[in-house]
Structure 1
Amino acid sequence: MSYLIDANIFIQAQNDYYCFDLCPGFWEFMGSKFIDGQLISIRNVFDELQKRDDEICSWSKNIRHCFQSIDDQETQVHFRAIANYVQKEYTPRHKNSLPHIQNFLSVADPWIIAKAKATNSIVVTHEIRDKNNSCKPKIPDICDYFNVKTIRTNELLRNFQVQFILSQQ
């Protein structure tokens, strides 16, 4: 089983709780699991990270080869199904839903779900389900419909039994 990592996992980790200088063990863990194939992501996520001018941009270049293509037929088939579902399900909900649908379909999110479906992976994201049933498609809601499991970073770390031990220098 593999875990497919959303861009927000990298970005929020760097910006909030696993800064490179404070928790290098997190980035060592992520890098090693990417290299051995237990963690994957897609090139769209890599491209998003490369638009930044920060450490995550540099770090991700070292594992560039681990970001998978979305050009395979199975991923393409799943993407079409996701796009059709989102347009059918979200358009009638609210008269202002079209920009949200277009935005969702123009970023990495539907491709993350499609690749996860194609590779039987679990999606790791910080997005949360929309309990209000709004006009904004969210990764966990779409994953639920397509039977793709989602978890957050803490669950990923627990699944790998990772512990970061404090050391002072």
Structure 2
Amino acid sequence: MVVVPPYLLDSNFFIQAYRFHYPLDVVPGFWLKVKELAEDGTIISIDKVQREIFQNKDNLTAWCKAHLPNDFFKDSSNCLTEYSKVVSWASMRIPQFTTGALNEFLDTDEADAWLAAYTMANGNVIVTHETSEPRRLSKVKLPDAATPFGIKCYTTIEMFRELKEVF
């Protein structure tokens, strides 16, 4: 049996599901599946994503605290070497991103650059709702930051299909 590194979830996996696609009160099966996949280690995330989710102090925050394993959100501080590679790529990219785009992407509290770094260090696949926009200079999109490092980005549905999950 091949052991596959866990799928690494972006904050928008949770936030968009909660707000738009799979509300807790309407699609509880989705959230039960997320809990199961988290408990068996198929999905994980990082501390920066946790901060982005928990800053809202809403029902999603309460759900995550109540249903995700204590070790679900991994420490990203051990990925400084990889993070510096992401920073270098974003800063040196031609054509250049706008100053605002770089400031947002490289804010050390923002998750995207850390997700790429964590994946480089651990071989994960990122699950995000962001889509590639390589010509966009006003925002660094996670799939565009992942591509130069050979990192795969899946949507939620692509992940479920690859896992052969139905609910």
Larger Rg: 1
Mapping of residues 17-56 of structure 1, within 5 Å: 17-56=21-60
Superimposed CA distance per residue, residues 104-125 of structure 1 (whole angstroms, 9 cap, x where no aligned partner): 1111100011111111000000
> Could you report, residue by residue, the CA deviation over 1:30-49 in whole angstroms, capped at 9, with x for unpaired residues?
11211221101001111111
Alignment of 1:94-109 (within 5 A): 97-106=98-107, 107-109=110-112
Give the counterpart letter for 2:125 in structure 1.
I
TM-score by length of 1: 0.88
Q: Which residue in the other structure is 1:153 paired with?
A: 156
Partner of 2:71: 65
Distance 2:39 2:77 in 1: 21
Task: Indicate the SS of the match to 1:143.
Answer: helix
Is 1:118 the equivalent of 2:121? yes
2:81 pairs with 1:77:
yes
Q: How far does residue 93 in structure 1 lie from its aligned partner after superposition?
A: 2.8
Structure 1 residues 131 and 115, CA, compared in 2 at 3 Å: closer, same or farther?
closer
Letter of the structure 1 residue corresponding to residue 87 of structure 2: A
- Distance in 1 between the 2:144 and 2:106 partners? 14
Q: Is the 8 A contact 2:24 2:31 kept in 1?
A: yes
Which runs of 4 or more aligned residues in structure 1 lie more than 3 Å from their structure 2 counterparts after TM superposition? Answer: none
Match of 1:10 in 2: 14
> One-letter code of the match for 2:25?
D
1:4 and 1:123 map into 2 onto residues whose CA distance is 5
1:86 equivalent among 84, 90, 94: 90
Secondary structure of residue in 2 paired with 1:4:
strand
Number of positions where the alignment pairs a residue of Structure 1 with one of Structure 2: 159
CA distance in 2, matches of 1:93, 1:120: 27
1:71 is aligned with what amino acid? S
Gaps in structure 1 of 5+ consecutive residues = 165-169
